[in-house]
Amino acid sequence: MGAASVHNSVSAGRIPRSISATDYYYHQLDIDQRAAFDFDAASVTGVDIDPQLVGQAEKLFALRASRAKPPTAAQPSSAAAHGVVVDYFPMSAVLTHGYRIEPDRRVSRNASTASARWPRVNFFSADWAVPTARDDVADDYHVILALSVIKWIHLEHADQGLIAFFAKCSASLKLGGHLVIELQAWDSYQKAVRPNHAPHFRQALDKLQLRPETCFDKLLEHQGLHLCASSHALPRTINVYRKA
């Protein structure tokens, strides 16, 4: 989606602890960072089940924010409109002088209060597939991204957990807002079942009734989310659903 269409967004990332999450999560973190820095989103909220990964997200964001070129008096802070250089200061500057913008829950004597230029990004830990999950996300988001995540929710929480996740996404969107999902095909579910990684997935897989290729569109329609765009340009299909 274009930069102009990104106002408030939430990136809901989730992967079981028993699966190696490094490559997946840093891909997800990069999406959160890009929404803020490269597309000038009004606000970005990153959600993940693992508090440790949330902490890593906060540190990565603080690092990128600290390296950004400060705006001048003649230059507003819109990165998308004015081409602000994000990786302006070298890493050595952060290592020598500390963060200009601190990660959450961290205090440094070198922190700068004058350069808090990116207050619109925050991260927290929650499991949106559980109905009792903490509800810190406002219900007025324009865009929710669920990329490389649906399969893991489905295998971990079964059909009812997937339904709960889609309901949470719908409840958190503004009317006219969009849910963007990466469709993970059924064969990728089967490949996820490995004896040395989350062996309980075998039993879970056998009980699943909903299928990504045939059931998700109707399931999302029941939550008021209607398919409005689809792209096959990438290895996996990207579907966009609009809340009506």
Q: What is the pLDDT of residue 21?
A: 35
Q: How far apart are CA 9 and CA 41, in angstroms?
A: 7
What are the tens digits of pLDDT across the range 39-66? 667 778 888 888 888 888 888 888 888 8
Number of Cβ atoms within 10 Å of the Cβ of 235 = 6
- Assigned architecture for domain 3-243: 3-Layer(aba) Sandwich (3.40)
139 pLDDT more than 90: no
Residue whose tokens read 């009734």 = 209
* Cβ atoms 163, 219 nearer than 8 A: yes
Quote the Cα angle for 231-4-166, to 5°.
Answer: 50
Beta strands in the chain (DSSP E): 8-12, 43-48, 121-125, 141-146, 173-182, 225-231, 238-243
Q: How far apart are CA 188 and CA 190, in angstroms?
A: 5
CA 126 distance to own-chain centroid: 12
pLDDT tier, 36 (very low <50, low <70, confident <90, very high otherwise): low
Q: How far apart are CA 156 and CA 193, in angstroms?
A: 11
